[in-house]
Amino acid sequence: MVAAKNGVRHHTKMKLRRRGKIGSAPGTVTVDPNAQATKIRVLCYSPNAIHEQAITSVNDLRAILNKWPMIWIDVSGLGTAAMILQLGELLQLHPLALEDAVNVHQRSKVDAFVDHLFIVARMCNPGEGHVTEQVSFFLKAGVLVTFQERAGDCWNPVRERIRAGRGNLRNLGVDYLAYALLDAVVDSYFPTVDGIGEQLDSYDEQLESSDSQARYHGLHEVRHQLLGLRRSIRPHRDMINELIRDDLPLISIETRVFLRDCFDHVIQLLDLVDTYRELTADLREYQMSLNSHRMNEIMKVLTVISTIFMPLTFIAGVYGMNFEGSPWNLPELHWRYGYFYSLGLMLAALLGMLWYFRRKGWF
């Protein structure tokens, strides 16, 4: 990634996390040693009641699973392999999907298994330099499990709606909860994209200013941000389209209607990103053309000045030879006002060339 600060480009490398040791068995869960410790919080609800609880042991979930019609198990931090494996064993999550949930370099996608769906999305964190975070969903009958890389997300409005009993969250199934969370993930990109649009508007208004070098590097950085956002947003289109189109028993017909609205938001984001990419390219080209125009103006002025001084230098050189003792010498050397004559000749040459250049429209 390229960062621009004070007109200077700084290059940073993006670290890709390996899927574990080469040759390891498929479905092997290998956690990142730098990942946060795993924490589990459960939100259980029905149309008339709600229960929240922090889980310190996976065994505590056994008594909860059969008591509530809708259960949201929110897992933050992917650094405790034993707890993640115990959770996968308890809920009978497919090991390949569990491996993908821990190795957070996945594209947004949907994988259908016998009794559950595995969904991957990428959430935008505007306060961290437009970094995206992988969030994974395991959708089962009556149970939704979400995995996040670390604590902190864009889902607090959804939690508040469940607690307050607003909307359809308590009355519809966990597939509708999965839609609500996916919709919040998609909407998390809008502040970032809108901020880039405001930044481009500011660049457009400052195009005539003198600090063109820093602005050009700023446009280059915006272009990289837009490319990264497009790579993150575009797979969501195919992922949500699969949830709508495919015959998935865990997704109800009513939830598919809401997913279409989420799909429209993804298309809107892609349109905005593509529009801003084109605007960024136009601003960069316009910036380069302005720089070329300024350079041409400077070269024209310097060329005119050089051309004007050429005959003046010639006249000064001729009258500066000062030959004596020959009838072919310059007679003006012995005139009383020869010095003023030479200056007048130079002034006449200067005015004549200025008149000619102006008549030709050269300045």
For residue 241, count CB atoms less than 10 angstroms from its CB and return exposed for 0-12, middle for 13-18, buried for 19 or more. middle
- DSSP secondary structure string, 13-82? PPPPPP-SSTTPPTT-----TTSPPPEEEEEEE-SS-EEEEEESSGGGGHHHHTT-SEEEEEEE----HH
Give me 186's structure tokens.
């998609």
Q: What sign has the CA pseudo-torsion 320, 321, 325, 328? A: negative
Contact yes or no for 265/186 (Cβ under 8 A) = yes
Residue 107 CB: number of other CB atoms within 10 A?
15
Q: What amino acid occupies position 99?
A: E
Contact yes or no for 159/165 (Cβ under 8 A) = no
User: Which range has the top average pLDDT, 27-41, 132-146, 299-313?
Assistant: 132-146
Element (H, E) at 134: strand 131-140
Q: What amino acid occupies position 301?
A: V
Give me 362's structure tokens.
């050269």
> Cα–Cα distance between 303 and 164 in angstroms, integer?
76
Contact yes or no for 274/226 (Cβ under 8 A) = no
Read off the pLDDT of residues 28-76 as tens digits, 9 standing for 90 and up: 777 778 888 889 999 988 888 888 888 888 888 888 888 888 899 999 8
Q: What is the rounded average pLDDT for all residues in the chain?
A: 80
273-309: string of b/e by CB count within 10 Å (b at 16+)?
beebbebbeebbeebeeeeeeeeeeeeeeeeeeeeee
> Cα–Cα distance between 42 and 179 in angstroms, integer?
18
130-165: string of b/e by CB count within 10 Å (b at 16+)?
bebbbbbbbbbeebbbbbbbeeebbbeebbebbeee
Residue 163: predicted pLDDT = 87
HSE-up of residue 130 (Cα within 13 Å, Cβ side): 24
Read off the pLDDT of residues 348-359 as tens digits, 9 standing for 90 and up: 888 888 887 777
Chain position carrying tokens 């961290």:
128
Contact yes or no for 27/20 (Cβ under 8 A) = no
All structural domains of the chain, each given as residue ranges with its CATH number in brackets, are: 2-290 (3.30.460.20), 296-359 (1.20.58.340)
Residue 138: predicted pLDDT = 94
Read off the pLDDT of residues 83-111 as tens digits, 9 standing for 90 and up: 889 888 898 999 899 988 888 888 899 99
What SS3 state is found at 136? strand
**Between these two residues, 207 and 354, which has the higher pLDDT value?**
354
> Cα–Cα distance between 185 and 120 in angstroms, integer?
11
**Between these two residues, 239 and 204, which has the higher pLDDT value?**
239
Give me 138's structure tokens.
């395991």
As beta bridge partners, residue 147 has 75, 136
Nearest alpha carbon to residue 193 among 220, 237, 233, 235: 233
| pLDDT score of 128 more than 60 | no
Read off the pLDDT of residues 8-26 as tens digits, 9 standing for 90 and up: 333 333 344 445 566 566 6
**Between these two residues, 290 and 114, which has the higher pLDDT value?**
114
